[in-house]
């Protein structure tokens, strides 16, 4: 920077003289070692931004939705091997298992193996598969050690997250790498072939922080089933502080999954296996120079290659390979317009591409573009009222253009209690396979049938309150969801290749009403309880929606406990139950429930400052089947109690 | 001159300067002075911080007052210091190293120290026998004042915690703390999270100190995330801490340190050496995002 100089300095004469002067200076002023006392640098040093708007959680009292947060404390105590097991602690969430060691996760309804109505985001990156739809849980392979918290928005919120944020949004926020410095090793050995290994190295430099990890999981799946898995994931995250308040975050991931599936007992589902290699690159630039404003630009690229096949007989092999790609660019700005008025707005563009001879009927890439604009205003006319008004306008080659709005009123009579009224509309656009399936397999005249997006209109009246000096947090909601234009999928033809006369079509409306409670209670410092209860009632508006209505259980219940009963010992327990569910993609199977429920116990002992040993017993109340029964088309999942020992060391 | 001769010359020259440096000479008499003939702004280094302080100073001084900027490490620093070392001249030191340099090299000019914490100033001046030429405006805000300001902005703040390092500059402090302050000692990065967790349980807010063993780019994310998870606000001493995630910062912006110095220069007190005070240029900045996330209402009195 050029600074005014009013008097010309005496020019030093010659290099030697200058060297002498400098040397003299050094002699007169002994080397300025790092002083032990504070200097001005301690007041003006640049520091990385730790709490950005995207990292901070919106207070639940003010949220225009019902939100459950699995926080760092809960995750740190978790010895769960799968992220989906942790999600059982979210009220209303249904977690099932499909053959091939694949989880099924939905909220309230429409449970099937390709759950397309739940959006899953990792630091803002959607893991939705554009080819067949649904979250790629196998690709995720994210251990609890790397997660800061999981926010589950229980209800549609397409106004903020776009189409397919239809039933719920699972928002996973990973930990800043500066928090995971050093090395960590977690090993796990157990029954049924459980062999896991997690290795992590993290570090910091003056202006960056990074984390590299490998996560390997192996097990045999359900006892007696042919659904072993052997999954390995490599992940890296690098955060660079480009300037004070400006951060570039790069995340890379590669996952390889080798899973068995099928059974000799199910001719439509013969023994086979699939491999899946997938990966992502995620770049996020955040400008947080002004703490009250945030500009975020993010780009991500996901790829997924599924190699899937089985032999019906030695001369006939069925190949079901599928490849997908997703490029997504988004710009988002958070502004404090004035006191009491905040705004988040932005836009984005996405390119989805798929290639699959088996599902699309040819071996060429098909591409679809999505463009979106969104804005959400939050206005607080006084401290007791909040008005949320927002919407997402999406132009989608698969389903046309549409607006997905949301209006919410939040009334906060005091700092601890709030009432909310939320009205919203969301869409679930067809996947690339759904959209094009009719062209190939549907009989005329259905072959030209166009597919519209599924729609949901949701109305929610909720209460959030904190009691007992914040030790008890409660959330209760009454809701009514109206589903329309439900996409009827010819499961037998599309999934199991039974007949070829199926076609995809929009048919059926359904009402879903219910009440749901979420509690988080700390009776004292060493004990934490959380629980949830959902009472649901589905009412099909026409016979077409009967199958979807039958997928709604009468109630879902969860209870979790964390207890530190003496200094080195900790106990965690999780119980989970759902009532009868008729899985949408299983036309032959009877409704299944959770039997006596799922109960997992984890006992942990601290061996050193950063070392602990844990013993886990999962599904202690095992009886019957999980998700699929012997009468189902897919192979039955016979439940069984498993156990494993985990050792975690940090250096 | 051959290279060998040049080297010998430099060596002798250096030795001579070491032997006859100003610090080894007796302090000359301190004469009263109406207005400064020449003013040198001597920065610890040529960084944006000191440039901003200088800009604040420059903006408030009339153009006819001679003012020169130089920074240690620059080739012109030594000549400028030498030429400004006259009885009615003023050296404004900005930063700790600048004061250390001036103490050694300036024997006649008056010295005004700014952009320096009191702790650093006191330690440097402990070796100076005659204070009459030295004035100072400390950049830090006293603990009691920070507590009072915090209470004005945040209702219901009863107890405050301070986390400091075991071997850091504040290790010996605490005896004079107000009763509502509790100090916790961190013995290294390994116990930082535990220490802040304990601090959160014992207090309503955590006051930061410029203790670089605790607060530095390596540790700040863990500190911010820990306090955020515990739901306790951090009251920072710098704007960088506010940006990093503190709820409030109570600090003096660099430009205003400069303007405050200008006021002193324009109206120099008769008792120049008696001027030793903390800055009055306090800014309270609020991180609205954090306030909202913690559900804390910040009053704006």
Sequence-distant (≥ 6) Cβ neighbours of residue A608 within 8 angstroms: none
Q: Which chain A residues are closer than 8 Å to B94 by Cβ?
A: 40
CA distance B203 to B180: 9
The structural domain count of chain B equals 2
Sequence-distant (≥ 6) Cβ neighbours of residue A244 within 8 angstroms: A46, A47, A289, B240, B243
If asked whether residues B103 and B77 sit together in one domain, one would say yes
User: Does the residue A42 lie in any domain?
Assistant: no
- A-to-B residue pairs, Cβ atoms closer than 8 angstroms: 218
C-alpha angle A533/A535/A540, rounded to 5°? 145
User: Does the residue B273 lie in any domain?
Assistant: no
Mean pLDDT, all residues of chain B: 86
Å from B51 to nearest chain A CA? 8
User: Does the residue B17 lie in any domain?
Assistant: no
Q: Quick check: A9 and B76 CB within 8 A? A: yes
Residue A320: pLDDT band (50, 70, 90) is confident
User: Does the residue B263 lie in any domain?
Assistant: yes
Residue whose pair of structure tokens reads 């404090």 in the numeric block: A336
Cβ atoms of residues B294 and B224 within 8 Å: no
Residue A288: pLDDT above 80?
A: yes
The structural domain count of chain A equals 1
Q: What is the pLDDT of residue A34?
A: 52
Q: What is the pLDDT of residue A613?
A: 97
Cβ atoms of residues B114 and B50 within 8 Å: no
CA distance A365 to A324: 9
pLDDT tens for B140-188 read 999 999 999 999 999 989 999 999 998 877 766 767 788 889 999 999 8
pLDDT tens for A202-219 read 999 888 999 999 999 999
Q: Quick check: A38 and B120 CB within 8 A? A: yes
Q: Which of these, A459, A582, A461, lies nearest to A511 by C-alpha position?
A: A459
If asked whether residues B93 and B200 sit together in one domain, one would say no
| Alpha helices (H) in chain B, listed in sequence order | 3-19, 48-60, 77-83, 96-105, 118-125, 143-153, 192-202, 220-230, 239-244, 254-266, 288-293
Å from B131 to nearest chain A CA? 20
Q: Which chain A residues are closer than 8 Å to B139 by Cβ?
A: 40, 43
Q: Check residue B30 and report its DSSP letter.
A: -
Q: Which chain A residues are closer than 8 Å to B245 by Cβ?
A: 49-51
User: Does the residue A56 lie in any domain?
Assistant: no
Return the residue in A28, A38, A53, A181 with the most chain B beta carbons within 10 A, the one to mutate for interface testing. Answer: A38
pLDDT tens for B178-224 read 888 999 999 988 889 999 999 999 999 999 999 989 999 989 999 99
Residue A311: pLDDT above 50?
A: yes
Of B38, B54, B169, the CB nearest to A38: B169
SS3 state of residue A438: helix
pLDDT tens for B77-114 read 899 999 888 888 999 999 999 999 999 999 889 999 99
User: Does the residue B298 lie in any domain?
Assistant: no
Mean pLDDT, all residues of chain A: 89
- Give me the sign of the Cα torsion angle B29, B32, B38, B42: positive
CATH of the domain at A530: 2.40.170.20
Cβ atoms of residues A28 and B104 within 8 Å: yes
Nearest residue on chain A to B253, judged by CA atoms?
A44
CA distance B3 to A340: 72
Does any CB of chain A come closer than 8 Å to the CB of residue B54?
Answer: yes
CA distance B292 to B245: 12
Q: Quick check: B225 and A292 CB within 8 A? A: no
Q: Quick check: A1 and B38 CB within 8 A? A: no
Nearest residue on chain A to B48, judged by CA atoms?
A1
The torsion region of residue A135 among left (phi > 0), alpha (psi -120 to 50) and beta comes to: beta
Residue A96: pLDDT band (50, 70, 90) is very high
Which ipTM was obtained for this model? 0.84
If asked whether residues B206 and B175 sit together in one domain, one would say yes
- Here the tokens at position A243 are 């300037």
If asked whether residues B234 and B119 sit together in one domain, one would say no
CA distance A631 to A637: 11
Radius of gyration, CA atoms only, chain A = 27
User: Does the residue A8 lie in any domain?
Assistant: no
Average pLDDT over residues A5-24: 38
CA distance A638 to A376: 47
Q: Quick check: A73 and B6 CB within 8 A? A: no
CA distance A392 to A424: 11
Å from B269 to nearest chain A CA? 25
Strands B234-236, B110-114: parallel, antiparallel or unpaired by DSSP?
Answer: unpaired
User: Does the residue A24 lie in any domain?
Assistant: no
If asked whether residues B151 and B242 sit together in one domain, one would say yes
If asked whether residues B113 and B169 sit together in one domain, one would say no
Residue A339: pLDDT above 50?
A: yes
Nearest residue on chain B to A47, judged by CA atoms?
B217
Q: Write down how long chain A is.
A: 651
User: Does the residue A5 lie in any domain?
Assistant: no
Å from A26 to nearest chain B CA? 9
Residue whose pair of structure tokens reads 């009440």 in the numeric block: A515
Return the residue in A37, A40, A181 with the most chain B beta carbons within 10 A, the one to mutate for interface testing. Answer: A40
CA distance B224 to B204: 15
- Give me the sign of the Cα torsion angle A356, A362, A365, A369: negative
Q: Which structural domain range is residue B201 located in?
A: 143-251+284-293
Average pLDDT over residues B22-31: 45
pLDDT tens for A21-78 read 433 443 333 333 455 788 998 898 888 888 877 778 888 999 999 999 999 999 999 8
If asked whether residues B150 and B120 sit together in one domain, one would say no
Does any CB of chain A come closer than 8 Å to the CB of residue B237?
Answer: yes
SS3 state of residue A85: helix
Residue A503: pLDDT above 90?
A: no
SS3 state of residue A461: strand
User: Does the residue A190 lie in any domain?
Assistant: yes
Does any CB of chain A come closer than 8 Å to the CB of residue B1?
Answer: yes
pLDDT tens for A369-416 read 999 999 999 999 998 999 999 999 999 998 899 999 999 999 999 989
Average pLDDT over residues A311-331: 86
Return the residue in A26, A34, A50 with the most chain B beta carbons within 10 A, the one to mutate for interface testing. Answer: A50
If asked whether residues B121 and B170 sit together in one domain, one would say no
Cβ atoms of residues B207 and B233 within 8 Å: no
User: Does the residue B15 lie in any domain?
Assistant: no
If asked whether residues B88 and B196 sit together in one domain, one would say no
If asked whether residues B51 and B159 sit together in one domain, one would say no
User: Does the residue A569 lie in any domain?
Assistant: yes
Q: What φ, ψ does residue B83 adopt, rounded to 5°? A: -75, -20
Sequence-distant (≥ 6) Cβ neighbours of residue A35 within 8 angstroms: B96, B120
If asked whether residues B260 and B246 sit together in one domain, one would say no
Return the residue in A16, A44, A471 with the most chain B beta carbons within 10 A, the one to mutate for interface testing. Answer: A44
Å from B28 to nearest chain A CA? 19
Q: Quick check: A5 and B69 CB within 8 A? A: yes
User: Does the residue A84 lie in any domain?
Assistant: yes
Complete edge-to-edge strand list for the sheet that includes strand A125-126:
A67-70, A147-154, A168-174, A118-122, A125-126
Residue A518: pLDDT above 50?
A: yes
pTM here is 0.86
Residue A264: pLDDT band (50, 70, 90) is confident
Cβ-in-10-Å burial (0-12, 13-18, 19+) of A606 comes to: middle
Q: Which structural domain range is residue A169 located in?
A: 67-650
Q: Which chain B residues are closer than 8 Å to A21 by Cβ?
A: 78
Sequence-distant (≥ 6) Cβ neighbours of residue B300 within 8 angstroms: B153
Q: Quick check: A51 and B6 CB within 8 A? A: no
Q: Quick check: A72 and B75 CB within 8 A? A: no
Residue A557: pLDDT above 90?
A: yes
- Give me the sign of the Cα torsion angle A150, A155, A160, A164: positive
Strand partners, B248: B235, B286
Residue A120: pLDDT band (50, 70, 90) is very high
> Which of A473-482, B13-22, B290-299 has the weakest average pLDDT?
B13-22
Q: Which chain A residues are closer than 8 Å to B250 by Cβ?
A: none
DSSP string, B196-240: HHHHHHH-SEEE--S-TTTSSTTTHHHHHHHHHHHT--EEESSHH
Cβ atoms of residues B243 and A288 within 8 Å: yes
Cβ atoms of residues B246 and B261 within 8 Å: no
Residue B7: pLDDT above 70?
A: no
Q: Which of these, A581, A529, A541, A620, lies nearest to A97 by C-alpha position?
A: A581
CA distance A552 to A539: 10
User: Does the residue B82 lie in any domain?
Assistant: yes
Å from A392 to nearest chain B CA? 23
Of A45, A62, A72, the CB nearest to B229: A72
Residue whose pair of structure tokens reads 């100033």 in the numeric block: B121
User: Does the residue B301 lie in any domain?
Assistant: no
Q: Where are the beta strands (DSSP E) in A78-144?
A: 93-98, 102-107, 118-122, 125-126
Q: What φ, ψ does residue A41 adopt, rounded to 5°? A: -65, -30
Q: Which helix (H) or strand (E) holds A138?
A: helix A137-140
Q: What φ, ψ does residue B69 adopt, rounded to 5°? A: -105, 135
User: Does the residue B80 lie in any domain?
Assistant: yes
Of A37, A204, A336, the CB nearest to B120: A37
Q: Quick check: B220 and A40 CB within 8 A? A: no
Q: What is the pLDDT of residue B150?
A: 95
CATH of the domain at B57: 3.40.50.2300
Å from A206 to nearest chain B CA? 7
Q: What is the pLDDT of residue B273?
A: 80
Residue A192: pLDDT above 60?
A: yes
Q: Quick check: B229 and A48 CB within 8 A? A: no
């Amino acid at each position: 920077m050029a600074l005014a100089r009013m008097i010309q300095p005496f020019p030093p004469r010659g290099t030697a003289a200058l060297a002498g002067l400098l040397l003299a200076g050094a002699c007169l002023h002994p080397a300025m070692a790092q002083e032990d006392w504070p200097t001005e640098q301690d007041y003006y040093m640049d520091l990385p931004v730790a709490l950005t708007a995207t990292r901070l959680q919106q207070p639940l009292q003010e949220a225009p939705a019902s939100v459950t947060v699995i926080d760092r404390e809960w995750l740190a105590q978790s010895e769960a091997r799968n992220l989906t097991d942790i999600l059982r602690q979210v009220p209303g969430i249904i977690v099932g298992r499909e053959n091939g060691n694949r989880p099924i996760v939905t909220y309230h309804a429409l449970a099937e193996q390709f759950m397309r109505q739940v959006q899953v985001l990792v630091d803002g990156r959607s893991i939705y598969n554009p080819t067949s739809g649904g979250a790629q849980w196998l690709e995720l392979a994210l251990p609890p050690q790397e997660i800061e918290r999981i926010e589950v928005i229980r209800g549609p919120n397409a106004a903020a997250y776009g189409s397919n944020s239809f039933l719920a949004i699972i928002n996973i926020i990973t930990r800043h790498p500066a928090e995971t410095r050093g090395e960590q090793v977690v090993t796990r050995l157990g029954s049924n072939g459980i062999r896991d290994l997690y290795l992590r190295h993290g570090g910091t430099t003056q202006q960056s922080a990074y984390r590299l990890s490998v996560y390997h999981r192996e097990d045999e799946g359900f006892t007696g089933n042919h659904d072993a898995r052997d999954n390995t994931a490599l992940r890296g995250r690098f955060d660079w502080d480009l300037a004070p308040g400006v951060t570039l975050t790069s995340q890379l991931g590669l996952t390889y999954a080798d899973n068995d599936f099928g059974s000799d007992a199910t001719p439509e589902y013969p023994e086979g296996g699939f491999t899946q290699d997938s990966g992502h690159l995620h770049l996020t630039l955040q400008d947080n120079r002004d703490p009250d404003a945030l500009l975020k630009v993010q780009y991500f690229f996901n790829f997924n290659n599924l190699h899937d096949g089985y032999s019906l007989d030695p001369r006939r092999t069925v190949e079901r390979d599928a490849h997908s790609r997703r490029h997504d660019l988004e710009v988002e700005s958070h502004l404090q317009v004035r006191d009491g008025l905040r705004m988040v707005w932005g836009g984005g563009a996405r390119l989805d591409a798929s290639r699959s001879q088996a599902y699309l009927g040819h071996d060429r890439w098909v591409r679809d573009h999505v463009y979106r604009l969104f804005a959400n205003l939050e206005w607080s006319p006084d401290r007791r009222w909040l008005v949320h008004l927002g919407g997402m306008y999406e132009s989608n080659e698969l389903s046309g253009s549409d607006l997905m709005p949301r209006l919410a009123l939040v009334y906060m009579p005091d700092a601890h209690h709030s009432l909310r009224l939320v009205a919203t509309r969301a869409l679930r656009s067809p996947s690339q396979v759904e959209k094009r399936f009719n062209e190939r397999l549907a009989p005329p005249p259905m072959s030209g049938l166009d597919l519209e997006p599924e729609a949901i209109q949701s109305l929610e009246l909720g209460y959030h309150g904190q009691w007992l000096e914040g030790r008890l947090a409660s959330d209760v909601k009454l809701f009514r969801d109206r589903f329309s234009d439900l996409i009827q999928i010819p499961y037998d033809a599309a999934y199991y290749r039974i007949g070829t006369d199926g076609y995809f079509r929009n048919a059926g409306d359904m009402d879903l009403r219910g009440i749901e409670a979420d509690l988080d209670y700390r009776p004292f410092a060493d004990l934490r309880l959380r629980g949830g209860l959902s009472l649901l009632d589905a009412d099909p508006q026409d016979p077409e929606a009967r199958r979807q209505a039958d997928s709604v259980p009468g109630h879902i219940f969860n209870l979790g406990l964390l207890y530190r009963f003496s200094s080195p010992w900790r106990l965690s327990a999780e119980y989970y139950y759902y009532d009868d569910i008729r899985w949408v993609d299983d036309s032959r199977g009877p409704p299944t429930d959770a039997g006596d429920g799922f109960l997992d116990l984890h006992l942990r002992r601290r061996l050193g400052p950063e070392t602990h040993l844990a013993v886990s017993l999962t599904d202690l109340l095992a009886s019957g089947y999980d998700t699929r029964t012997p009468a189902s088309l897919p192979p039955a999942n016979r439940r069984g109690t498993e156990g494993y020992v985990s050792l975690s060391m940090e250096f | 001159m051959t290279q060998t001769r040049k080297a010998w010359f430099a060596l002798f020259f250096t030795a001579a300067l070491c032997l006859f440096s100003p610090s080894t000479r007796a302090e000359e008499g301190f004469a009263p002075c109406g207005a400064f003939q020449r003013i040198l702004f001597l920065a610890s280094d040529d960084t944006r911080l000191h440039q901003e302080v200088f800009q604040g100073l420059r903006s408030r001084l009339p153009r006819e007052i001679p003012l020169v900027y130089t920074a240690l490490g620059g080739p012109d620093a030594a000549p400028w210091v030498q030429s400004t070392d006259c009885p009615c001249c003023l050296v404004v030191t900005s930063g700790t190293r600048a004061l250390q340099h001036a103490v050694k090299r300036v024997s006649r000019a008056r010295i005004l120290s700014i952009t320096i914490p009191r702790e650093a100033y006191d330690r440097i001046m402990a070796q100076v026998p005659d204070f009459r030429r030295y004035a100072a405006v400390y950049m830090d805000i006293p603990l009691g004042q920070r507590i009072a300001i915090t209470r004005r902005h945040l209702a219901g703040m009863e107890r405050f915690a301070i986390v400091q390092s075991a071997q850091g500059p504040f290790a010996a402090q605490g005896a004079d703390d107000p009763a509502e302050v509790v100090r916790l000692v961190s013995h290294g990065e390994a116990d930082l999270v535990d220490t802040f967790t304990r601090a959160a349980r014992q207090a309503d807010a955590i006051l930061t100190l410029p203790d670089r063993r605790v607060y530095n780019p390596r540790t700040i994310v863990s500190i911010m995330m820990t306090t955020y998870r515990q739901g306790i606000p951090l009251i920072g001493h710098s704007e960088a801490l506010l940006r990093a995630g503190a709820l409030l910062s109570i600090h003096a912006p660099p430009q205003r340190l400069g303007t405050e110095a200008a006021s002193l220069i324009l109206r120099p007190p008769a008792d120049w050496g008696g001027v030793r005070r903390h800055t009055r240029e306090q800014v309270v900045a609020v991180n609205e995002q954090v306030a909202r996330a913690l559900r804390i209402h910040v009053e704006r009195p």
